[in-house]
Structure 1
Amino acid sequence: MKDLLQQEQWRVIDESVLAIHLPALHSFGMDDTLCASVGGGIAPPTARAWVHEKTIVLGIQDTKLPYLTEGINFLKSQGYHVIVRNSGGLAVVLDEGVLNVSLIFPEKEKGIDINRGYDAMWMLIKEMFSDFNIEIEAKEIVGSYCPGSYDLSIDDKKFAGISQRRLRNGVAVQIYLCVNGSGSNRAELIGQFYNRSRNGEETKFQYPEIDPAVMASLSDLLQQNLTVQDVMFRFLTALKNRCRHLYAGVLQEEEQPLFDAYYDRVVLRNEKVLGDANE
């Protein structure tokens, strides 16, 4: 089976510095744009890195919490923006110590099995930190926020979560990496959000019971003061080993109108889904 990471060329759109000044919805509009342009053959496989200021990204299921407005008001009181994403999963934390990476592949005739996308990202992260004597596992970490079968952990402490978005023959595999800062403080914040949004009420959907002790940053786990740019360098080095041509790029002219349309769509969708809760 062909290694998904092995491509003739990778275009890299590095927004790990620039996007800090942009709303997080920009990133979801960008990834939808790239799914459409890479899937449609307009652009080559693309890797995108992004960092946003303090933002809580909710999943669709989170918007069904019985006391959502109270939960959102709490997050805002802690200085966070609140948005809803269009890929799967539950609430996650973005801030200046969290690096997000998206890998966008074209989905050829046979299609990309969902686990192949997850495995490709897991393999890339393992390569990025192969100089450390550690094992990075992919399994659900119970008690973490946005738990899933591809939570990435070291010694049973989660530092990353992976999701996927499929659109117009393109597949975006997205990961957030807690590089520095306190993973347990981020988990505590999400735990308080769920406590306030549930307020003791029974819900049909099983929301996670957050245990801050099961989440940590890479800096803590590797006992190294890592910066986002340190991890970016590792990411670019690992990706360069998987292609003949790695180059820094921006949206092409043909992609710009796509972005305008997809960005408008995510903004409208957020207004519709969050409505009064995010006033």
Structure 2
Amino acid sequence: MGKMGSVLLPREFEFMDGTEGPSLPDILYPFAVDEIMARRVGEGRRPLIHMWTHPRAMVIGLRDRRLPSAEKAMEDLRKEGYEVAVRNSGGAAVPLDEGVVNLSIILPNPERTMDFRQDFDVMVELIRGSLLGSGASVEAGEIAGAYCPGDYDLSIRGRKFCGIAQRRQTKAYVIQAFVVAEGSGERRAERVREFYRTAAEGASDGAYPVVKPESMASLQELTGSGGGQAFAAGVRRFLSAQPGMKKVVPGELPKEEIRAMIPALRARYDR
């Protein structure tokens, strides 16, 4: 095992950098990649770290999709040029654009011996490692008023810049994180709040997150960093320094399986 902070990463792992190629053909494409590759990892393939961005999308959670006026709220987003999808991991609505860097860590768990908190801790240490040199002190813990709230919100000086969710398969885990690297965190949060204002009309209190835009900020706002490209470069630099890393190019993936998985995910979760 290779040590990363206080958390152990597998000694050998693969890294796929989806930020270096053309824009993704469908917002569900990276989720389909994670789903297919988790099966492979569960069957014995090396663990995988996957980094990607998307030009303009809103990815919502299963509970969001069940809100009384979710259909209308999703249609409003599409009219504004957003792709909209329901993800198969935990969490709630998250806006994506070129300034948001997404990370997935796919780990095997054939004996089901890994506690979910260990999974989250690996992602926390990856993000902290990618910010080495920024001078930022990253805290983990839920931030009240943030969108997609959770125990593993990552924040700097009390403002959230990253959320983490998990997807479990029989023999593998997928830990997914969004990192708001550049631009206005508040502006993104305002759009999420507007989504809930429409989607949750008639819903009971507690059925959806109450978003307070001032709780969100980007790394650029918090640290004065160079934004999305700078954070992605930090991820590359940090992972390249780990022993046993093998880079995988997207062309090596089972494309037909991935393409077939996209409509399957949409049919299973977007209803």
Q: TM-score, normalised by structure 2?
A: 0.91
2:29 partner amino acid: H
- Structure 2 equivalent of residue 265 of structure 1: 264
State the 1:65 CA deviation. Answer: 1.0
Shift of 1:8: 2.8
Give the secondary-structure state (helix, strand or coil) at the position aligned to 1:192: helix
Is residue 65 of structure 1 aligned with residue 64 of structure 2?
no
Q: Which residue of 1 aligns with 2:141?
A: 139
Structure 1 range deviating more: 71-80 or 120-129: 71-80
CA contact (8 A) 1:67 1:198 kept: yes
List per-residue Cα deviations over 1:137-192 (Å, max 9, x = no partner).
11001101110000000001000100111114111111101111111000000101
Which residue does 2:213 correspond to in 1? Answer: 212
For 2:103 and 2:151, locate their aligned partners in 1 and report how far apart those are by CA, in whole Å.
18
Deviations 1:44-65 (A, max 9, x none): 1111111112111010100111
Q: 1-side partners of 2:199 and 2:9: how far apart?
A: 44
- Aligned-CA RMSD value: 2.1
Change (3 A) 1:157 1:147: same
Corresponding position: 1:26 with 2:25: no
Whether contact under 8 Å (2:110, 2:171) holds in the other structure is yes
Structure 1 counterpart of 2:126? 124
3-state SS, counterpart of residue 128 of structure 2 = helix
> 2-side partners of 1:241 and 1:112: how far apart?
25
Residue 229 (str. 1) matches residue 232 (str. 2): no
Shift, 1:202, TM fit: 3.9
Q: How far does residue 206 in structure 1 lie from its aligned partner after superposition?
A: 2.9
Offset at 1:25? 0.7
Partner of residue 150, structure 2: 148
Listed as ranges, the gaps of 5+ residues in structure 1 are 274-279
The AA in structure 1 aligned to 2:41 is V
Matched residues in 1 for 2:212 and 2:98: separation?
A: 22
- Partners of 1:256 and 1:116 in 2: how far apart? 31
Asked if 1 retains the 8 angstrom alpha-carbon contact of 2:141 and 2:153, the reply is yes
Q: Does the CA-based 8 Å contact 1:10-1:46 persist in structure 2?
A: yes
**Residue 8 of structure 1: which of 4, 7, 11 is its match?**
11
Give the gaps of 5 or more residues in structure 2.
none
Name the CA distance, whole Å, in 2 between partners of 1:97 and 1:252.
26
Amino acid paired to 1:29: A
When residues 26 and 5 of structure 1 are mapped into structure 2, their CA distance, relative to the original with a 3 A threshold, is farther
- Separation (CA, whole Å) in 1 of partners of 2:210 and 2:220: 25
Distance in 2, matches of 1:19 and 1:168, equals: 32
Cα contact 1:159–1:217 (8 A) shared by 2? yes
Tell me, what secondary structure is at the counterpart of 2:81?
coil
Letter paired with 1:23: D
Q: Please give the per-residue CA displacement for 1:195-243, whole angstroms capped at 9, x wherever unaligned.
A: 11223x24264311111001011001001332x3322221122223332
